């Protein structure tokens, strides 16, 4: 699995995807040296704001789509798109940059090779994962639909009282746009979500289609109008209190993260790498003396 993750990370290079800088390896450990991403999770950042405009939300979503578009152009499915894996490079800048992280279960989809698996975070997995059906890039698009729903409402569309209830809701595509949560949300935004939360993967909106959706394409047009007009436009404001509640609950219910570095083992790996490099330098020196 680590070999697959490394191979994928080596292949990708995009402004909205974390960069692999180097790898250290010994008999028992593989340590990936990744780009420093210090801005924290996107949802945590947005939850700290008093309110959020729909335009601001789509600016961040567009970056997520750009990153996924790049992955899908290489036939790479992330398979674990969720708020915890959408980070900010630096939150203390005017326009923070999104970084997609954690390619631990990412997979290259190859024509003619059927791929099935049961993995991911229940709240965000597509029906075809729940039902153990052949998987493709479409599974990521379902996850983007769930993420967008939460981003705009602070509510999770399929989350049940138990894991089994959540999976049942996903399989039945049992969700709605509760007026309590979506009173300030545009119909275009709801249409975007509806086209992603489709049970049949072949009828689900693709990443290319999502970038061409009117809700996403309207971002640029609205930005141009703002620059050309001195009148402050009316903006849809989304309440962030529920988003804050959602992030608190999701963090408190997260299982222990086994991807954190064990620094004691990490230091041993570095010591062994340094010793190996010193040995190689000694061999090179000896070779020069005798030749």
Q: How far apart are CA 189 and CA 194, in angstroms?
A: 9
Written as six digits, the tokens of 38 are 């210090």
Phi, psi (deg, nearest 5) at residue 100: -80, 135
Q: In this structure, which long-range contacts are made by residues 202-206, counting pairs with CB atoms below 8 Å and at least 24 apart in sequence?
A: 202/138, 204/138, 204/141, 204/142, 205/141, 206/72, 206/137, 206/138, 206/141
Rounded distance between C-alpha atoms, residue 101 and residue 37, angstroms: 9
Q: What is the CA radius of gyration of the chain?
A: 22
Ordered by start, the domain boundaries in the chain are: 37-260, 263-291
Active site residues: 80
Measured CA to CA, the distance from residue 289 to residue 144 in angstroms comes to: 61
Q: Which CATH architecture has domain 37-260?
A: Orthogonal Bundle (1.10)
**Neighbour-count burial for 165-193, b at 16+ CB within 10 Å, e otherwise:** ebbebbbeeebebeeebbebbeeebbebb
Nearest to 127 by CA among 157, 173, 171, 77: 171
Find out whether 196 and 204 touch, Cβ atoms under 8 Å. Answer: yes
Instruction: Confirm if 70 and 63 have CB atoms less than 8 A apart.
Output: no
Identify the three-state secondary structure at position 130: helix
**pLDDT score at 246:** 77
> Could you tell me which residues come within 8 angstroms of residue 169 by beta carbon, excluding any fewer than 6 positions away?
157, 158, 159, 160, 175
Q: What are phi and psi of 112, to 5 degrees?
A: 85, -10
pTM: 0.81
Per this entry, what is the length of the chain?
291
Sign of the alpha-carbon torsion through 34, 37, 40, 42: negative
11-49 burial, b if ≥16 CB within 10 A, otherwise e? Answer: ebebebbbebeeeeeeeeeebbeeeebebebbbbbbbee
Predicted confidence at residue 288, as pLDDT, reads 65
* Residue entry with tokens 């569309």: 157
Q: pLDDT tens per residue, the chain (291 residues)?
A: 788 999 999 999 999 999 999 999 888 888 999 999 999 999 999 888 877 889 999 999 999 999 999 999 999 999 999 999 999 999 999 999 999 999 999 999 998 899 999 888 999 999 999 999 999 999 999 999 999 999 999 999 999 999 999 999 999 999 999 999 999 899 999 999 999 999 999 999 999 999 999 999 987 565 545 444 444 444 556 667 777 787 877 766 554 443 333 444 444 555 665 666 676 676 666 666 665
Distance CA 221, CA 4 (A): 40
């Amino acid at each position: 699995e680590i070999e697959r993750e490394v191979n994928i990370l080596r292949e990708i290079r995009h402004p909205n995807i974390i960069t692999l800088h180097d790898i250290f390896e010994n008999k028992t450990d593989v340590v990936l040296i990744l780009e420093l991403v210090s801005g924290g999770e996107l949802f945590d950042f947005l939850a700290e704001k008093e309110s959020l405009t729909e335009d601001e939300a789509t600016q961040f979503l567009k970056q997520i789509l750009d990153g996924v578009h790049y992955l899908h152009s290489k036939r790479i499915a992330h398979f674990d798109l969720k708020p915890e894996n959408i980070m900010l490079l630096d939150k203390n800048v005017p326009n923070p940059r999104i970084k997609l992280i954690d390619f631990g279960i990412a997979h290259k989809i190859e024509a003619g090779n059927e791929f099935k698996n049961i993995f991911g975070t229940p709240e965000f997995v597509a029906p075809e994962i729940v039902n153990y059906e052949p998987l493709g890039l479409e599974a990521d698009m379902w996850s983007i639909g769930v993420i967008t729903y939460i981003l705009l409402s602070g509510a999770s569309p399929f989350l049940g009282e138990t894991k089994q209830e959540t999976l049942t809701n996903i399989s039945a595509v049992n969700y709605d746009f509760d007026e309590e949560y979506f009173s300030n949300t545009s119909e275009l935004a709801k249409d975007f979500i509806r086209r992603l939360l489709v049970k049949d993967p072949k009828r689900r909106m693709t990443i290319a289609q999502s970038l061409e959706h009117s809700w996403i394409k309207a971002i640029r047009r609205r930005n141009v109008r703002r620059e050309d007009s001195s009148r402050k436009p009316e903006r849809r404001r989304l309440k962030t209190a529920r988003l804050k509640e959602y992030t608190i609950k999701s963090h408190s219910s997260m299982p222990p993260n086994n991807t954190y570095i064990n620094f004691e083992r990490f230091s041993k790996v570095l010591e062994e790498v340094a010793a190996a490099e010193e040995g190689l330098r000694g061999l090179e020196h000896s070779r020069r003396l005798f030749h």
